[in-house]
Amino acid sequence: MAYHDDLLNQALHLVHVAPSTQASLRRSVSSAYYAVFHFLIAEATSNWNNVTLRAALGRAYDHDTMKRASNRLLNTRDFPFTGEDPQVVASLRFVALTFTQLQEHRQFADYNLTEDLDPTDALNQVRSAEKILHTWPSIRSYQIAQEYLVSLVVKHR
Amino acid sequence: MVPSGFVHQAQLDAEIKSAVGKLGPEVVHVAYHLGADSTGDPSIFFRVVLTDAAAREETLTETTGRIATTLFNEVRPIENWGLHPYFNFRSQAEQQRRKDPERA
């Protein structure tokens, strides 16, 4: 099983622990984010022919660059995707938006103890991460999806 | 650069109220606040209270996705306001336990 699948399973397990604790809920959100983080990197580096070097190439990705690339894609003026399949565009924007949500919620889950994390919010984050992994195969063959993967590693200048 | 969202807050508030009016009966309340996200970028944080029925696991992501899409498409926070949107969801039962006045 791939590492990102393990992380997602861990997130699903933790978010269903009963009775829930702040520790189990927060770790579930963190695992869900990292499931998506490593999933997108695995998808991007799978284009590299030399299989043994894919993990090393994955080290080039960082959270901030991935977030900014995702934010840019959500800007419909900069990325109108004219002529593209609207369903593919909607799915790609869902991935980008959900990635940014997960990253911010991961920050809250790991570091911000000023208020409790709600079970509903944790469950929504975990299930949304799962939805990304289910959605991606339907769009991965499209050029705009592949361009998004490349943008995740390229610093915008 | 001052984000436009901090300059025209009355107009932003009117647009959000209009967008909230287009949400379904599964939404009990929507609050929002402006601030910086964890990387310092200007952001708008929506806090949505759902009915307990809408917060059921079987329909949760479909419901939250629909709400986020409506708010995103109606307000266009990135293009029109320079704000990145974040969405936080809570059930009505959770809200009653928390007594958080921001979402009352």
Contact, B55 vs B83, CB < 8 A?
A: no
Mean pLDDT, residues A15-32 taken together: 98
Mean pLDDT, residues A108-127 taken together: 97
Long-range own/partner contacts, residues A18-22 (CB < 8 A, 24 or more apart)? A20/A119, A20/A122, A22/A116, A22/A117
A19 Cα to chain B: minimum distance (Å): 15
Report the number of distinct structural domains present in chain B. Answer: 1
Residue B87 belongs to domain spanning: 4-103
Q: What is the pLDDT of residue B3?
A: 56
- The answer to whether the Cβ–Cβ distance between A104 and B37 falls below 8 Å is yes
H helical segments located in chain B: 4-7, 9-20, 60-75, 77-81, 92-98
Name residue A157's amino acid.
R
Contact, A123 vs A32, CB < 8 A?
A: no
Residue A6 CB neighbour total at 10 angstroms: 13
Tens digit of pLDDT at every position of chain B (104 positions): 445 545 588 999 999 999 999 999 999 999 999 999 999 999 999 999 999 999 999 999 999 999 999 999 999 999 999 999 999 999 999 999 986 666 65
- The answer to whether the Cβ–Cβ distance between B79 and A76 falls below 8 Å is yes
Pairs across A and B, CB distance < 8 A:
57
Q: What is the pLDDT of residues B27-45, one digit of tens each?
A: 999 999 999 999 999 999 9
Per the DSSP assignment, residues forming a β-bridge with B35 are: B43
Q: What is the pLDDT of residues A71-114, one digit of tens each?
A: 999 999 999 999 999 999 999 999 999 999 999 999 999 999 99
Phi, psi of A92 (to 5 degrees): -65, -40
Instruction: Write b or e for each residue in A93-112: b if 16 or more Cβ atoms lie within 10 A of its Cβ, otherwise e.
Output: bbbbbbbbbbbbbbbbbeee
Q: Is the pLDDT of residue A6 over 50?
A: yes
- B55 interaction partners in chain A (CB closer than 8 Å): 120
**Domain holding B88: CATH number?**
3.30.70.1350
The model's pTM: 0.94
Instruction: Dig out the tokens for A15 from the structure.
Output: 């978010």
Nearest Cα to Cα of residue A128 among A28, A23, A26: A28
ipTM, two decimals, is 0.93
Q: What is the pLDDT of residue A40?
A: 98
- A64 interaction partners in chain B (CB closer than 8 Å): 39
- The answer to whether the Cβ–Cβ distance between B65 and A128 falls below 8 Å is yes
Q: What is the pLDDT of residue B103?
A: 60
Mean residue pLDDT across chain A: 97
CA–chain centroid gap for A77, Å, is: 23
